[in-house]
Chains A and B, each alone.
Chain A
């Protein structure tokens, strides 16, 4: 087993912010089209508020014990450790597939139609197993490089779409039903999976401040808002005719005769999904106290591949694996319910001892 290396909390939150941003990169008709731009922004604010709230239990645990949930659980009975480990393993496996499935689908539909989705999934998972084996410290170092690439891609994508902007006054009106608004909030709350990762990795982060998750969520919101703005006003109605609207935005971007930055977008998407799955596999191993165990990581990657293979041939399985509501319920349980249970339990035990 690998000994844990502590790294800067800023670096961890930067990595988690990049993971959260990949949600909007992979969106495919996920933002309700019937909502006006103003209501989309409102649902974004509400969704990200939920996301920030999900961070609070982990912050409470971190402030009290300086560690994370899994270090608290490791002091309990073996049965309890196993039960919590199984729950987090299932959650992290589900979350990995939530990102792996749309990524492979998008890669094959939009970028390289001749490729097999299963081959893409296999290669990506193989790389993720290696990264998860190397540990969270190495993955967060990769996050710094990815941040630079994300900045460059965003500048190209948004800067190149400025010339296509067309302001429609109707987009600012408050239009759209309550159902669509609820779907919007549900979708924009999906980045709360980063809070669940933080619950498991908080112990490895040093010099933690409450403002770090706040800044991470705020920057995620800014990125989401910019993507929504450019999809609404630069791509317009055309976005509703094409799958993976952020990919379309990257194709629309152009600087004179230099047209389309989809290769940058694909690189960013690939690296973001790679980083998410690596972190999730890393947390998965940690939940069983097997950090740095290559056979253990590989066995879960095989499970993820098998599930992806089933999802590629069975549409109902695919729907379950890519359901944002299910991911949110799972994420809230993993980042709020379980940590709060342990927080109150330890408080109760302390008071009893006192």
Chain B
């Protein structure tokens, strides 16, 4: 009995050692969504932090690529940034040609990203709405799910977008397109590989 107690007592500090660099859930910076748009000819990456308030908590970074934006955000604004729970990557139509092949390629090599995060192209009004109202993010996700149900061939998640870009015989990749002034009208858009 004494032996067992000694073993438990000696293992206990080792287990607790894992809590040394832990963060409380409410202070952890879990990135839920990322949007990319163009402003004055430059790409702006906006990281939306998971929050329960009505107004979104977002950090906008001017950068040339997702890789640069991610390292800048982690370095200057969100030190404990976690992208493992990323649910949505929203790309403005004007920024699409710069973002789509390059950033998709980069994300595919990163172990922390979820391959089933949703990807969609949108217009500038949607990006603006998303930055103002938290609820807009959930509405967009629901619309993408509906779009997939109505049109099974559309590539709504990152995994299928990447696979369509890198393989297959089709010359175009179909992804959801969200437009409209606040009513989030979802259609599809074909992108050349």
Chain A residues close to B by CB (< 8 Å): 109-110, 114-115, 123, 164, 166, 168, 235-238, 241-243, 248, 251-252, 254, 259-260
Contacts and interface: CB of A to CB of B under 8 A. Distances in A.
B10 to A, nearest CB: 10
B110 to A, nearest CB: 9
A236 B114 contact: no
B111 A164 contact: no
B115 interface: yes
12 contacts: A110-B111, A164-B157, A166-B160, A168-B168, A236-B167, A237-B163, A237-B167, A242-B109, A242-B111, A251-B114, A252-B159, A259-B116
Interface of A is mostly: helix
Contact of A166 (B109, B115, B116, B163): B163
B21 A238 contact: no
Interface in B146-193: 157, 159-160, 162-163, 166-168
A164 B114 contact: no
B14 interface: yes
Contacts of B116: 164, 251-252, 254, 259-260
Contacts of A252: 115-116, 159
Given A109-B111, A242-B111, A260-B114, A164 B14 contact: no
Contacts, number: 47
A241 B160 contact: no
B108 interface: yes
Given A166-B160, A237-B166, A259 B114 contact: yes
A252 to B, nearest CB: 5
Interface string B106-149: 00110100111000000000000000000000000000000000
Given A248-B115, A259-B114, A241 B163 contact: no
Nearest to A252: B115
Contacts of A168: 167-168
Contact of A238 (B14, B18, B159, B168): B159
A235 B109 contact: no
Contacts of A242: 108-109, 111
Contacts of A243: 111
Nearest to B165: A237
Contacts of B21: 114
A107 to B, nearest CB: 12
Which 10 pairs between the two chains have the least Cβ-Cβ distance?
A236-B163, A241-B108, A237-B166, A237-B167, A237-B163, A238-B162, A252-B115, A238-B159, A241-B109, A254-B116
B112 to A, nearest CB: 8
* Most chain B CB neighbours (cut-off 10 Å) among A110, A236, A243, A248: A236
A164 B167 contact: no
Contacts of B168: 168
A71 B21 CA distance: 51
Interface in B1-60: 14, 18, 21
Given A235-B159, A236-B159, A248-B115, 7 more contacts: A164-B116, A168-B167, A241-B108, A241-B162, A243-B111, A254-B116, A260-B114
